[in-house]
Structure 1
Amino acid sequence: MDDIDLVRDFNRYYTRRIGVLNDEYLGQGRPLGEARLLFEIGAGADLRDLRRRLGLDSGYLSRMLRSLSSQGLVAVAPRPGDARVRTATLTPAGRREVAELEERSRVYVAELLEPLSPRQRAELVEAQTAIQRLLRLAAITLTPVPDAAPEARFCLRAYAAELVTRFPEGYDAEGALLPPGTLHDGTFLLAAEEGEPVGCGLWQGGSPGTAEIRHLWVSPRARGLGLARRLLAALEADAAARGVTTVRLGTHSTLVEAIALYRSAGYREIPPYDESPYNQLAFEKPL
């Protein structure tokens, strides 16, 4: 079997094993979709956020909410102070239902793990952690956006705020960040997870055949997934497709994680190519 068949085979086994296909998830008399929705509502959530997080169309979400409301488990009402936004909250009965689901789930997983030795349990948990990490990485979208887009400026502001704390000399965002609307020969890539920006990077053209990669940043919530490497590779591929044969970049000596990434991605150190006080090390890579 190829990779696709192996993943499909695992999915079929796993969904069957945990009872996803049953009409009564964990024996509580409701399908998985409604049970998952109760979990996601938690302490309260607006309907737009629920649709985005669960990937549901508004009609299907409305039907499930009506069902849960008719059972006295969920209340839907306009958000106080903003009637345009509707929110879902759990009723006392809904909170009791979620608590029971949590307990049943823990008992079920305990029974699932019980036949395994401690070493086998650790192996299973490690494998599931790797699966989750890789699935998250695969689900993150990389999209070219204008450098003046709100999501782009959000990422750059977060990037600058982090550098202020990491650089001993501080960081002058106004003088160092790419001004909005000035990236004409290059690409700004936005990384988003479930619709929320979690990373960015850009390349901009320089001398013929050469480009500079700048502002490669990943949100703390998405670190450890391999997203920085994926962003870097995507920027290189995009630049190469536009005729760039060599990319270069500068970084600060305190950013040891970035330095390790560049070295492992095939970049070699070169003499500094600009006067930026933050580019204490410079690197170059042929494409």
Structure 2
Amino acid sequence: MSIDAISRIRRFNRAVTAEVGALDTSFLGRGRPLGSARVLNAIGHGRGEVGAIRDYLGLDSGLLSRLLRGLEEEGLVVTLPHPGDARRRVAALTEAGRREFSAYEALSNDRAGDLLARFPKGEELLRAMDLVATALGRDRIAIEEADPRSDAALHCLTRYYAELDRRFSAGFDVTLSRDPQAADMRRPRGVFLIAVSDGMPVGCAGLKGSGGEVAEIKRLWVCPSARGLGVARRLMAAAEAAARDLAITTLRLDANSALTEALALYRRTGWIEIERFNDDPYPDFFFEKRL
């Protein structure tokens, strides 16, 4: 790595540290440092199991214990044995903790709005932030099953359709495509998978089943900020695993020649080109894979 690259990274680190108040003894003026505020935030967003909080924040057990103890002494958090396993512990916000969590949320939202207001190219800034946050959190990107009608799924599908419209020479109209019904991408027929980076959906893939031994992979998409991190490969592997679990033995998919990255992925991962198997107007490549 060049000296220039190192200098730019260190400059970026200093800027972020200053912007988020990482060195402040009173983060956002609430009387406690950033570490304690992040633990409170994690619990407020539903990460109650102490081991899950530790993994999410990347803290060692000793430091997390001290931070939790401090929040308990303030009357903001209680920790209790896990109802299903007494060896594990669960943290929960008290009423005072919920008020403090809400105060942090409001202040953080205001600070984010102020930052965007100061910068004349807001969308460019957000795209850069997405890229950095996804790259730094690549090891924490999770593949989860979701309802294809959920907000997260629709977020991915809307962006996927918009990208197809930009990349296809004649545009893309989903009403002309063989768009699968939601029930075909839910168990026991299929699944819909979402790649999630710290709560944000960054990719998706659908397994469209009919109840038989043959199913299709549909709607594989990864947002630009998460490309090159192996997310598409992980989504495809998860779809294949779900297909095996549903006793599906043959997978098929179609693709358009404009999607060169997807075509390269399919060929690298054992998909075989076959004859056309549907009358969808958009694809010009067709593949199959035996499980």
Asked if 2 retains the 8 angstrom alpha-carbon contact of 1:77 and 1:87, the reply is no
**Counterparts of residues 140-179 of structure 1 (less than 5 Å):** 140-176=141-177, 177-179=179-181
Matched letter for residue 246 of structure 1: T
Aligned mates of 1:159, 1:182 — CA distance in 2: 19
Deviation at 1:224, TM superposition (A): 0.9
| Alignment match of 1:272 (pick from 272, 276, 287) | 276
| TM-score, normalised by the number of residues in structure 1 | 0.57
Aligned residue for 1:43?
Answer: none
Identical residues among aligned pairs (%): 35
Q: Secondary structure at the match of 1:229?
A: helix
* Unaligned residue ranges in structure 2 (runs of 5+): 1-22, 46-52, 58-66, 75-99, 112-133
Find the residue that maps to 1:86 and give its secondary structure.
helix
Write the letter of the residue equivalent to 1:167: F
**AA partner of residue 87 (structure 1):** L
Does 2:240 match 1:240? Answer: no
Cα shift readout 1:224-250 (whole Å, capped 9, x = no counterpart): 100000000100011011111111100
| CA shift in 2, pair 1:85/1:209, >3 Å | same
Q: Which residue of 1 aligns with 2:290?
A: 286
Q: Does 1:226 align with 2:230?
A: yes
Q: What does the per-residue CA deviation read over 1:169-227, in whole Å, with 9 as the maximum and x for residues that have no partner?
A: 11112343334455351000111100011111011124731110000000111111000
* Count of aligned pairs: 196
Aligned counterpart, 1:183: 185
Tell me the C-alpha RMSD between the 2 structures.
Answer: 4.0
Task: State the alpha-carbon separation in 2 of the partners of residues 77 and 145 from structure 1.
Answer: 27
> The residue matched to 2:107 in structure 1 has which SS?
strand
Deviation string 1:36-71 (CA, Å, 9 cap, x unpaired) is 799x9xxxxxx969976x9579995xx7xxxxxxxx
User: Partner of 1:86 in structure 2?
Assistant: 106
Normalised by the length of structure 2, the TM-score is 0.56
In the TM superposition, what whole-angstrom CA distance separates every residue of 1:63-114 from its partner, at most 9, and x where no partner exists?
7xxxxxxxxxxxx9999xxxx9621477xxxxxxxxxxxxxxxxxxxxxxxx
SS where residue 87 of structure 1 aligns? Answer: helix
Identify which of 212, 216, 220 aligns with 1:212.
216
Q: Matched residues in 2 for 1:215 and 1:147: separation?
A: 11
Please give the alpha-carbon distance, in whole angstroms, between the structure 1 residues aligned to 2:24 and 2:182. Answer: 54
Given residue 234 of structure 2, which amino acid in structure 1 is its aligned partner? R
Contact 1:146–1:181, Cα closer than 8 Å, also in 2? no
Tell me by how many angstroms 1:166 deviates. Answer: 0.2
Give per-residue Cα distances to partners, 1:94-138, cap 9 Å, x unaligned. Answer: xxxxxxxxxxxxxxxxxxxxxxxxxxxxxxxxxxxxxx95x7333
Structure 1 unmatched ranges of 5 or more = 1-27, 41-46, 64-75, 91-131
Larger radius of gyration: 1
- SS at structure 2 position matched to 1:271: coil
Listed one character per residue, the Cα deviations across residues 140-192 of structure 1 (whole Å, up to 9, x for unaligned) are: 11111111111111110110000000000111123433344553510001111
Contact 2:41/2:101 (<8 A) preserved: no
